């Protein structure tokens, strides 16, 4: 089996991490360092990895750092907004009552959960080619930030089919809403909001007041929902891509 993650480091301790995604692209986590460090690490990465490479960076990169990415074969492909959502504002909204059962992802068949995750990701900019197997999906639950109370799926009581999911990771300084989506038959309903409120109640019971998320600026649905939920736009990021 091919390696799913790789790391490279410099003599002074800067580390670049890469994770292989189910769509064949490598997601890079660049260190908080200057362009000279990035240049050395990216050279090693582009030589040793096959497949497209992706890196998320602040939108206001200085010209030298942006040139470092360009020289390594990267180009900007899409832009995201980072939001901060107030749980108190979510609580103030009328509570949604849904016929669906909202369950921890670990209480449903993981093959079905993987299929649901794939369907939802296919409609999200940047993950259109995402196709994870049940085994690959299960491996994501080994993330240190996984919390079964914060990774929920919506199951219809009649068909027992899965109609939506919300995935929140335990991160610092605040939890991160990594994905929220419902299948097409359940769009323009309040099922997505029901999932958000379900997780928000758990977070508030733990003394947490805010969570963070990102939306692609071209994804009008998720971008608009973050704004309607009272999200505060904090900053913009750009995803850079180096082709295979």
Render pLDDT for 162-176 as a digit per residue (tens, 0 to 9).
999 999 999 888 999
Helix-then-strand count for the chain, H and E: 7, 11
* Residue 79, SS3 per DSSP: strand
- d(CA 119, CA 141) in angstroms, rounded, equals 18
Task: Specify the pLDDT at position 77.
Answer: 94
Q: What is the pLDDT of residues 173-203, one digit of tens each?
A: 899 999 999 999 898 889 999 999 999 999 9
Average pLDDT value for residue range 140-146: 87
Nearest to 169 by CA among 197, 139, 149: 149
Alpha helices (H) in 6-60, listed in sequence order? 35-48
Domain boundaries, the chain: 5-73, 84-237
Q: How far is CA 170 from CA 85, 101, 167, 174, 175, in A?
A: 15, 23, 10, 7, 5
Instruction: Report pLDDT for 35.
Output: 94
Helix (H) or strand (E) holding 221: helix 220-228
Amino acid 46: pLDDT: 93
| The pLDDT value given to residue 163 | 96
Provide the b/e sequence for 39-59 (b: ≥16 CB within 10 Å): bbbbeebeeebeebbbbbbee
Closest-CA residue to 26 (of 43, 58, 48, 10): 48
Residue 2 reports pLDDT greater than 80: no
Q: Give the pLDDT mean for 98-103.
A: 96
CATH 3.40.630.30 fits 84-237, yes or no: yes
Q: How far is it, in rounded angstroms, from Cα 80 to Cα 218?
A: 9
Percent of the chain at pLDDT above 90?
71
Q: Which pLDDT score is estimated for 176?
A: 95
Residue whose structure tokens are 């200085």:
62
Q: What is the pLDDT of residues 12-21, one digit of tens each?
A: 899 999 998 8
What is the per-residue pLDDT for 221? 78
Say what percent of the chain tops pLDDT 70: 99
């Amino acid at each position: 089996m091919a390696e799913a993650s790789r790391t490279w480091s410099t003599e002074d301790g800067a580390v670049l991490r890469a994770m292989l995604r189910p769509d064949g692209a490598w997601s890079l986590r660049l260190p908080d360092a200057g362009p000279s460090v990035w240049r050395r690490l990216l050279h090693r990465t582009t030589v040793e990895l096959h497949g497209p490479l992706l890196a998320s960076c602040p939108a206001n990169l200085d010209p030298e750092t942006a040139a470092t990415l360009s020289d390594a074969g990267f180009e900007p492909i899409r832009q995201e907004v980072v939001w901060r959502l107030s749980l108190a504002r979510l609580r103030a909204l009328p509570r949604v009552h849904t016929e669906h059962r909202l369950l921890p992802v670990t209480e449903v068949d993981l093959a079905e959960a993987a299929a649901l995750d794939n369907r939802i990701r296919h409609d999200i900019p940047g993950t259109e080619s995402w196709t994870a197997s049940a085994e690959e999906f299960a491996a994501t639950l080994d993330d240190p930030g996984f919390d079964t109370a914060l990774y929920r799926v919506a199951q219809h009581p009649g068909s027992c089919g899965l109609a939506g999911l919300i995935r929140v990771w335990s991160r610092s300084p605040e939890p991160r809403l990594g994905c929220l989506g419902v299948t097409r038959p359940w769009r323009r309903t309040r099922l997505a909001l029901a999932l958000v409120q379900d997780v928000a109640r758990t977070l508030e019971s733990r003394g947490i007041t805010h969570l963070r998320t990102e939306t692609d600026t071209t994804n009008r649905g998720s971008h608009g929902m973050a704004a309607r939920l009272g999200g505060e736009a904090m900053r913009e990021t750009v995803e850079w891509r180096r082709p295979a």
